[in-house]
Structure 1
């Protein structure tokens, strides 16, 4: 089971993943500010420290600066979160998830067609 990652920690991870899985602290701060997050540096450092404790990130010193390296890929994170969600909410039944998406119009006809094509290509 993957470590629990808060929404704030996930925002930081998304930025790091978007930059090939490694970034300097100052670049992370810049990207967060571009996204209009108003967190102070100490807050960002706290989130990074938590991700490091959870072994989701590694820290590498570059002189006096810190580079953060993702130890968990975005794909790996999404796979684990999806498995956990389907297991917990739908007792492992993917059909229940899909039925909810269809019944509540959370999936379009085009997306259903795309999924059919994906299924046909990948079922071997």
Structure 2
């Protein structure tokens, strides 16, 4: 699966988060106020997404409607594997060093991480 540029990923995140087929105007309304794009720009991104097989387009009256073809979870899992491989050389130590080297992790983040690890161990019978 191809990695999406940030601008196209932004469109896909909107489509995925809405959870149903959407029009260009609906996508435009979901963009943050500081990230307003022209209709032409949005249509260009949607056209590229269609060419790459991420969305299907069909007509309802005079309006194009865009439907996600690639599930969000599938894309995010693939992207996570790619980041893991490229940036951390498949090393949990490298990842944890990068993650823990700043002060970005709150107590809640650490609790969530511990809960994840505990759940993984239970599911694996460890």
Which range, TM-score by smaller chain? 0.7 to 0.9
Aligned runs of 1:17-56 on 2, under 5 Å?
17-32=16-31, 35-56=33-54
Please, what TM-score do these two structures have when normalized by structure 1?
A: 0.85
Shift of 1:21: 4.0
Q: What RMSD over aligned residues (CA atoms) do the two structures have, in Å?
A: 1.7
56-65 vs 106-115, which moves further: 106-115
Structure 2 residue runs without a partner (length 5+)? none
Partner residue in 2 for 1:102? 100
Normalising by structure 2, report the TM-score: 0.84
CA distance in 1, matches of 2:35, 2:104: 29
- Kindly indicate whether the alpha-carbon contact (under 8 Å) linking 2:28 and 2:36 is maintained by their aligned counterparts in 1: no
Runs of 4+ in 1 over 3 A off after TM superposition: none
Kindly indicate whether residue 59 of structure 2 is the aligned counterpart of residue 61 of structure 1: yes
Post-superposition CA distance 1:76-124 (Å, at most 9, x none): 2221111101101111113211121112233234322221122212322
Gaps of 5+ in 1: none
